Amino acid sequence: MAFIIQYSTRSRVKTQSCTVWCIYNIFLDNFKRIIIVKMFYQFGVLLLVGTYLSVTSALPPCVCTRELKPVCGSDGNTYSNECLLNCKRLENQDLKVERSGLCENEPPSCFCTYEYQPICGTNGVTYPNKCSLECERADVKIAYTGECKADEVTKLQPCTCTRERKPVCGTDGNTYSNPCMLNCAREQNEDLNIDHTGRCTNDIKVVEHAENVSCACTRNLAPVCASNGVTFNNVCLMQCSGTHLTVVKDGPCEFA
């Protein structure tokens, strides 16, 4: 016995004759509808009222630009742009744009680009760009443009000398118990040199030991060969070595 079935599409209602239960698979907008339609006798007598199932198929990932045009959604959340809100609608079909801008119940958020124009903050931290610095730390200012440089000065151990007595007279009029003591004192007076060996004729004071004297040298590599045959990374480190040394030549010692 033949049946007359009716099923609907987006545009119109279709009628078709069939002799058994009729199941139609209609694909509309990524939705797969399995429809069991109304079934009639050929002469119009109603036999069965049909039903349908709706099954969601897999959707492609939602892709949006990084455009910054924040909108407030009806769920109370702020979205960077309307496209991102529409992506969220896949989970919540009732979601809509409440208004443009941030939601009032949210504190201002930082929206920065990924542009890399490093800024060094006054806290010594490098930020990818000015926006990132201003967003993350309102109390930090820009120190300078570019990545923060590591501290170029390294503090060495306090200047230590032996008790050897080989007095020298410094150009400051002080007698030092040995050249090492004078070299330690040069940290506070770079112009200090040995005037002559032995005690000063009119001692201002006699320096017997180095107190609270520490060497501070940069990390720059400019090797010199000292008079004791040792290579130092720079002149400052040589002068801070604890002995009265002179530069034999620039560059490493050949026999070092």
Residues 224 and 247 sit within 8 Å (Cβ to Cβ): yes
Q: pLDDT band for position 159 (50/70/90)?
A: low
> How many other CB atoms are found less than 10 A from the CB of residue 146?
11
Q: Percent helix, strand, coil in the chain (nearest 5)?
A: 10, 35, 55
Q: Are 215 and 234 in contact (CB under 8 A)?
A: no
**Highest mean pLDDT pick, 90-99, 156-165, 221-230:** 90-99
Q: What is the pTM of this model?
A: 0.25
Residue 95's closest CA among 227, 47, 61, 103? 103
Q: Residue 106: which pLDDT band, with cuts at 50, 70 and 90?
A: low
Strand segments (E) across 50-152 = 52-56, 71-73, 78-79, 97-100, 119-121, 126-127, 142-145
Cβ neighbours, 10 Å, residue 232: 22
Is the per-residue pLDDT at 196 higher than 80? yes
According to the model, what pLDDT value does residue 9 have?
46
Rounded Cα–Cα distance for residues 196 and 192 (Å): 12
Better pLDDT: 69 or 203 = 69
As a whole number, mean pLDDT of residues 79-106 equals 86
Q: Would you say how long the chain is, in residues?
A: 256
More confident residue, 141 or 72: 72
Q: What 3-state DSSP class applies to 72?
A: strand
Residue type, 130: K
Whether pLDDT at 127 is above 70: yes
Tally the C-alpha atoms within 13 A of residue 195's C-alpha that lie toward its C-beta. 15
Closest CA to 155 of 244, 219, 234: 219
What are the tokens at 199? 């005690």
How many percent of the chain have pLDDT more than 70? Answer: 57
Cα–Cα distances (Å) from 184 to 95, 99, 165, in that order, read 75, 71, 15
Between residues 12 and 249, the one the model is more confident about: 249
Range in 24-28, 80-84, 148-152 with the lowest mean pLDDT: 24-28
User: Each residue of 30-82: pLDDT tens digit?
Assistant: 334 434 444 444 444 444 444 444 444 444 567 888 788 889 999 888 888 89
* CA 171/CA 87 separation, integer angstroms: 80
Tell me if residue 98 falls in helix, strand or coil: strand
Q: What is the pLDDT of residue 97?
A: 93
The predicted pLDDT at position 95 comes to 92
Cβ neighbours of residue 200 closer than 8 Å, sequence gap 6 or more = 169, 170, 173, 174, 175
